[in-house]
Structure 1
Amino acid sequence: MEQRNGTRRSKPPQLRINAPSTARERAASVDPYGFERSDDFDYESYEELMSEYLAVLTRRSIKWSKLLQGKRRVDRNLKVKRYVRKGVPNEHRPLVWMTASGAQERLERNPGYYQSLLDAQHDPRLVETIRTDLHRTFPDNIHFRKSANPCLQKELFNVLLAYGQHNKAVGYCQGMNFIAGYLLIISKDEETSFWLMEALLDRILPDYYTPAMLGLKVDQEVLGELVRLKAPAVWRLLQDHGVMWTLVVSRWFICLFIDVLPVETVLRIWDCLFYEGSKILFRVALTLIHHHQDEILQAQNLPDVCECFKRITRGAFVEDCHAFMQRIFQEPGSLSRSTVTKLRQSCRAQITAGES
């Protein structure tokens, strides 16, 4: 928190964002996470889908409660991995994300660290850059409007400021505001959001959010190599039209599919991202491309390709998040950690050689 009149503000109480629970509330113009629905939103299809998915969520919640039995940790084993892939209920997400990613351990090893970052002397340029981006963060989400109660803009500012102070080499990069905003919506707590962001940016996705964005560039090229292996016709089409992967998938990676895929689907992806690591991003991207390759192959030119890559992130295939998550572990086939590591090494070498 900022200091006022020399008095340090205490940590704020946890934010309360209650998800609508009735069918009438779910069919309102705002979704359970505060995002406004578009004018052409298909309420009938949504209600049909949610009636089935809520039953899945109820079963998963019971299973997770039995698994955790009041514990504040999750183990790393095949059973928990299977549970994570089938979805973590919202009430358990902060705990599972924190412990699976190592963020909880980092928090406990560094008591008071988050507050000390907020109380530090800050670079005015960092402060101004963050403030400039605040109003651009989820303009379609009611919780980030100044008129909201609670309004998450102040909490968002604090998380971004703390991270910029923590990692001065990075400071603030575009895309971070959306990640921090999502974390606040789910965790409902500033300090938790900071440590989850630290886990994502410093360890799970290193070099994504840096001035050079080398990690992001590398992973886009790795995806290209994976498409060449698993959907070669699509790879050839993009080569023939001179389409760079950066042009069609950079937003997928830098936003971690926020504002690309439906909210529930993104959260299911993040369950696996925090537990299994960055490899999950390739599975999602490969599934989108592989599943729609016939449609992509009909593209006649560069604008067609770009439009098609936008179109394949919408519709029933991605809205049914439970079925979609099952597909990402089936459709792309095997994808070992060693394969990804080798591809990253070769792509990194090519990029750095080209930039030197």
Structure 2
Amino acid sequence: MESRQDGRDWAYRVDPYGFERPEDFDYASYEAFFSRYLVVLTRRAIKWSKLLKGNKSIQKSLKVKRYIRKGIPNEHRALIWMIVSGAQTNMEQNPGYYHRLLEGEKNDKLVEAIKTDMNRTFPDNVKFRKTADPCLQHTLYNVLVAYGHHNKAVGYCQGMNFIAGYLILITKNEEESFWLLDALIGRILPEVLDVKMDLHGLKTF
């Protein structure tokens, strides 16, 4: 039976996103740095809270650009990404669309290609392991299957699993991750995935 101390040690060995730290990780230097940096993060978080004022919208301005370039605090990152990318607007204008994609008829070849990459996605992240509760592999599978049927010109390419997986770690929300993936691949960085080639040079499906 795992002791309370063992649980604390395990939590200490992974970062806030669930990635295991290497055996040679310098905890002393990290703690020394973070204790100082925490003051900066707290100050930024307060500024963002004042800027947002509890709203889910934000007006583009030089101040917002400056804040973003300095770094978005973790607690505000998902919302700001959703707003500035246009994903929030698209999600609000298409209620139920994501779930209809999941409930619709599936392309067997697309589904099989995605399933193949599930265990290959962030193997050093405890949240993506089958033993995790909840296991983010299921969330990742849904996002990729929905996107593959939404954007049939791209479908699924190897490497998309890591992009979607990272979005899931940040948003902690399946539907938001789908719309952010759509914003990235469809509008912001369409050159990341050529419709004929994946990140390794071969389109999976």
The TM-score normalised by the length of structure 2 is: 0.89
Query: Aligned residue for 1:115?
Result: 99
CA distance in 2, matches of 1:195, 1:74: 18
Higher relative contact order (CA 8 A, sep 6+): 2
Alpha-carbon contact 1:130-1:172 (below 8 Å) kept: yes
1:131 matched residue in structure 2? 115
**1:64-89 deviation per Cα after TM superposition (whole angstroms, max 9, x unaligned):** 11111111112111000111111111
- 2 CA distance for matches of 1:37 and 1:168? 37
- Residue-by-residue CA offset, 1:268-296 (whole Å, 9 max, x unaligned): xxxxxxxxxxxxxxxxxxxxxxxxxxxxx
User: Given that residues 117 and 161 in structure 2 are in contact (C-alpha distance below 8 angstroms), is that contact kept between their aligned partners in structure 1?
Assistant: yes
Contact 1:26 1:32 survives alignment (8 Å): no
Residue by residue over 1:252-273, the C-alpha shift from the partner in whole angstroms, topping out at 9 and shown as x without a partner, is: xxxxxxxxxxxxxxxxxxxxxx
Contact 2:185/2:193 (<8 A) preserved: yes
Provide, for residues 177-206 of structure 1, a one-character-per-residue CA deviation record: whole Å limited to 9, x for no partner.
011111111101100000000000000111
Structure 1 segment 331-346 matched on structure 2, within 5 A? none
- Match 1:167 to one of 151, 165, 188: 151
Q: Do the aligned partners of 1:114 and 1:191 also contact (CA within 8 Å) in 2?
A: yes
Aligned to 1:209: 193
- Alignment partners' CA distance in 1, 2:97 and 2:127: 27
Computing the radius of gyration over CA atoms, which structure comes out larger, 1 or 2? 1
Work out the CA distance in 1 between the residues paired with 2:194 and 2:105.
22
Amino acid at match of 2:54: G
Alignment of 1:64-79 (within 5 A): 64-79=48-63
Amino acid across the alignment from 1:192: E
Q: In the aligned structure 2, how far is the partner of 1:73 from the partner of 1:211?
A: 32
TM (normalized to structure 1)?
0.52
* Gap change, CA 1:54 and 1:188, over 3 Å in 2: same
Task: Name structure 2 gaps, 5 residues minimum.
Answer: 1-7, 201-205
- 8 Å contact from structure 2 (residues 171, 177) kept in 1: yes
Q: Does the CA-based 8 Å contact 2:157-2:197 persist in structure 1?
A: no
Give, in angstroms, the shift of residue 148 of structure 1.
0.5
Paired with 2:153 and 2:184, the residues of 1 have a C-alpha distance of 16
> Percent identity at matched positions?
64
Provide Cα deviations, 1:216-261, integer angstroms capped at 9, x if missing partner: 8xxxxxxxxxxxxxxxxxxxxxxxxxxxxxxxxx8xxxxxxxxxxx
Q: CA deviation at 1:27?
A: 8.1
Does the CA-based 8 Å contact 1:207-1:213 persist in structure 2?
no
Aligned match of 1:256: none
Give the drift of 1:53.
Answer: 1.7
Map of 1:28 onto structure 2:
12
| Alignment-derived partner of residue 130 in structure 2 | 146
Q: Does 1:182 align with 2:182?
A: no
Q: Which runs of 5+ in 1 are unaligned?
A: 1-23, 217-249, 251-356
Stretch of structure 1 that moved more, 98-107 or 85-94? 85-94
Cα distance change on mapping 1:67 and 1:79 into 2, 3 Å: same
Look up the equivalent residue of 2:39 and give its one-letter code.
Answer: A
CA 1:27/1:151 → structure 2, altered by over 3 Å: closer, same or farther?
closer
State the shift of 1:54 in Å.
1.3
Output the aligned Cα RMSD. Answer: 1.9
Deviation at 1:212, TM superposition (A): 3.0
Partner of 1:346: none
Is the 1:143–1:150 Cα contact (8 Å) retained in structure 2? Answer: yes
Matched letter for residue 107 of structure 1: M
* SS of alignment partner, residue 131 of structure 1: helix
- For 1:25 and 1:184, how far apart are their aligned partners in 2? 25
1:106 maps to 90
Matched, 1:96 2:80: yes
The one-letter code of the counterpart of 2:171 is: S
Aligned to 2:4: none
Does the 8 A contact of 1:107 with 1:195 survive in 2? Answer: yes
1:208, CA displacement in angstroms? 2.1
In structure 2, what is the Cα distance between the partners aligned to 1:27 and 1:146? 18
Secondary structure at 2:190 match in 1: coil
